[in-house]
Chains A and B, each alone.
Chain A
Amino acid sequence: MKDASEYPSDNKLTGDYKYGFSSEVDSDTIPKGLNEDVVRLISLKKGEPPFMLEWRLKAFRHWQGMKEPHWPNFEYRPIDYQDIRYYSAPRKKGDGPASLAEVDAEVVKTFEKLGIPLSEQKRLTGVAVDAVFDSVSVGTTHQAELEKMGIIFCPISEALQKHPDLVAKYIGTVVPYQDNFFASLNSAVFTDGSFCYIPPGVRCPVELSTYFRINAKETGQFERTLIVADKGAYVSYLEGCTAPVRDENQLHAAVVELIALDDAEIKYSTVQNWYAGDKEGRGGIYNFVTKRGKCAGRNSRISWTQVEAGSAITWKYPSCILQGDNSVGEFYSVALTNNRMLADTGTKMIHIGKNTTSTIISKGISSDYAHNSYRGLVKILPSADNARNFSQCDSMLIGNNCSANTFPYIEVENNSATTEHEATTSRISADQIFYLQSRGLEKEEAISLVINGFCKEVFKTLPLEFAVEAVKLLEMKLEGSVG
């Protein structure tokens, strides 16, 4: 990938966050505030079929009766939901479906700066990208080749127009609109996201990827991603995110639903690097995301791998419902918090089918004044004969002012089940760094070696190019925080 640091940023606030620039883009935005008319307007702008609007309105009415939850292991200021703009899109040059050629030049430039070239000539090999800018998808690469194999990979708004039956069949089946406060809000106002369908027996030949970019001020991003792997299908999906440096907090409340039918496999990888706020904790993204996969079929498998390195507050629990017999759920996570960042993240593994297995590997790294919590649930229902779970939750502390917590919940209702839980807490010490330096490694190399060693089990589950990016990202974040 291209190194975005080649492009100078004139924003002094950015510090070491190299994606902190903002772009001047002519945008179609709606006024701040949320009511039924806004929900209708979003649906209208998207030209959605009626069932979608009805679903959104049900979600909105349900949400109005809900309270913002405050149970994670940190405090944050209440969010004023009337002070957020729920739709902002770069203006199209003409009517009709946007082809890449019609995308605002500034938007294309923005993605190039981020290392995501959209044009056919420069696009990344081996990765098909759907680029989401604020509330809309601005372009999807490789679409034609994928279509030949029957793979659908497009913005969810496009899927609602071209494949409404498919969307209607699956949306909300894993994360219903009543699920939780932020999922209900998302269901009412989601603006875009990716839709992906892999037909029976097809192995998707490229990595599918969505890159989310928040640009506009005072705007929330509410995207919805739906991935369906039909019987015997395989797909590996990557998600990346960045946002400009801004003083105020911005809300990102996404929903991701994965469905794997018989013998299907979905690998979902995230490198999350939203703007995290400055050293004093001003600004940054509130990343409140609901991600859940359903292993609906026999022998199906869903793996979540996440590298969470950004956002002022991260609050997410990518989970697996292991419904099909012999299905497998995996969660590999590295969550890094520095400065004043707060993260409360983990997973839920719900074992329903027989012989279901789940693996949880969580690595939390905390430095400066950050708080990092692992929170996870392993639930084994009475029907889940011979279910097995292995969980390992390791924390690493850098410095004396940060904290790490582990909250594992294990509920077993079947005597034939096996669960194992291991947890460790360690500290990068000045002694370790000096020891490695005294063998010829520079301080940065020494830190990176220790971090790499700590996160090895998670990094090896990432696609290679992403793993390299992830290592660089963590090194950059931790520069200057040891010793």
Chain B
Amino acid sequence: MLKIKDLFASVEGTQILKGLTLQVNPGEVHAIMGPNGSGKSTLSKILAGNPQYTVDSGSVEYDPGGRSFDLLGLEPDVRAKEGVFLAFQYPVEVPGVPTSMFLRAAYNAVCRHHGVEEMDPMDFDVFLHEKMKALDMDDKFIDRAVNVDFSGGEKKRNEILQMAVLNPRLAVLDETDSGLDVDSMKIVSSGVNKLRNKTNAMIVITHYQRLLNYIKPDFVHVLLKGRIIKSGGPELALEVENRGYDWLVK
């Protein structure tokens, strides 16, 4: 589904990713761990197409099923329409725009892209409330402006709600656990787990092993100084939790 080959990327003139290679197949969940500044968030932003980040070299091939794209050549909105989703570490506030209006605009944009009929406001309302119930979200939530005056936990839940609405093929969760208490983490994780299936894939970026108790990864990678220096199964996350990153450098 995703083949990242020898990726070098920079932000504001500083090279952060230095030869990252990673392959993700349908149905797999990959966890990426690493200390601050190792390039975890840069990877997520490059995959989503943030224009403030530049790719210096390397390639990213994306195949959502049946068709293959040079992901780096697509506009951010086209990536989203083709099933790439980034749950932001710091979701952005959009004053004045009600969450429900935003979600429907996004959902219908994806429909139009695939030549599927758009959903009318009534049907969408029903659809949205089902998704919200699964995430234990209050009804009033969708009348509020996107992320404005949301608590940290609400913002993260809103990200997962968007993910549930857009039903992506490849979801990248960028430190979705940061700022969450244990109860919120359980709810968010169960929301994420509901979206796991044989055709979808996920990349879960996290500092802590804790989240991986709830979202069980198939593979764990350690990212350091812009490269993946070690890959393994779930046990690698536990080892990192116990021993830190220093032992991997030697």
Which residues of A are at the interface with B, using a C-beta cutoff of 8 A? 426, 429-432, 434-443, 445-446, 449-450, 452-454, 456, 483
Which of chain A's residues has its CB closest to B94's CB?
A432
**Closest chain A CB from B126 CB (angstroms):** 20
| Bound CA–CA A478/B50 (angstroms) | 21
The reply to whether B162 and A439 form a contact with Cβ atoms under 8 Å apart is yes
When the two chains form the complex, which single residue of A426, A434, A436, A441 contacts B50, counting CB atoms closer than 8 Å?
A: A434
The binding surface of chain A is classed by DSSP as helix
Please encode chain B, from 66 to 105, with 1 for each CB lying within 8 Å of some chain A CB and 0 for all others. 0000000001110111000110100111111110011001
The reply to whether B95 and A434 form a contact with Cβ atoms under 8 Å apart is no
Binding-face segment, B33-41, B106-114, B200-208: B106-114
Which of chain A's residues has its CB closest to B76's CB?
A437
When the two chains form the complex, which single residue of A430, A437, A450 contacts B77, counting CB atoms closer than 8 Å?
A: A437
| Bound CA–CA A431/B110 (angstroms) | 21
| Bound CA–CA A324/B100 (angstroms) | 42
When the two chains form the complex, which single residue of B51, B95, B96, B166 contacts A430, counting CB atoms closer than 8 Å?
A: B51
Name the 9 nearest CB pairs between A and B, nearest first: A453-B96, A453-B97, A435-B92, A440-B80, A439-B106, A437-B76, A440-B109, A437-B77, A440-B110
With A430-B51, A445-B109, A453-B145 as given contacts, are A438 and B97 in contact (CB-CB < 8 Å)?
A: no
B191 contacts partner chain A, Cβ-Cβ < 8 Å: no
When the two chains form the complex, which single residue of A426, A438, A442, A454 contacts B86, counting CB atoms closer than 8 Å?
A: A438
Contacts of A450 in B (CB 8 A): 94, 96-97
Contacts of A436 in B (CB 8 A): 94, 102, 106
| Bound CA–CA A441/B77 (angstroms) | 6
| Bound CA–CA A128/B94 (angstroms) | 39
The reply to whether B94 and A456 form a contact with Cβ atoms under 8 Å apart is no
Which of chain A's residues has its CB closest to B83's CB?
A440
**Closest chain A CB from B114 CB (angstroms):** 11
Contacts of A431 in B (CB 8 A): 92
| Bound CA–CA A465/B93 (angstroms) | 30
When the two chains form the complex, which single residue of B51, B92, B94, B166 contacts A440, counting CB atoms closer than 8 Å?
A: B166
The reply to whether A435 and B166 form a contact with Cβ atoms under 8 Å apart is no
Contacts of B166 in A (CB 8 A): 439-440
Q: Can you report 21 residue pairs joining A to B where beta carbons are below 8 Å apart?
A: A432-B92, A434-B48, A434-B49, A435-B94, A437-B76, A438-B79, A439-B102, A439-B166, A440-B77, A440-B81, A440-B166, A442-B75, A443-B75, A446-B77, A449-B94, A450-B94, A452-B96, A452-B97, A453-B94, A453-B95, A483-B51
**Closest chain B CB from A407 CB (angstroms):** 23
| Bound CA–CA A441/B110 (angstroms) | 8
With A430-B51, A430-B52, A449-B105 as given contacts, are A437 and B96 in contact (CB-CB < 8 Å)?
A: no
The reply to whether B105 and A437 form a contact with Cβ atoms under 8 Å apart is no
| Bound CA–CA A430/B92 (angstroms) | 10
List CB contacts (< 8 Å) of B147-166 with chain A.
162, 166
**Closest chain B CB from A452 CB (angstroms):** 7
The reply to whether B88 and A440 form a contact with Cβ atoms under 8 Å apart is no
Which of chain B's residues has its CB closest to A453's CB?
B96
| Bound CA–CA A19/B122 (angstroms) | 38
The reply to whether B77 and A442 form a contact with Cβ atoms under 8 Å apart is yes
The reply to whether B106 and A426 form a contact with Cβ atoms under 8 Å apart is no
Contacts of A432 in B (CB 8 A): 92-94
| Bound CA–CA A432/B88 (angstroms) | 12
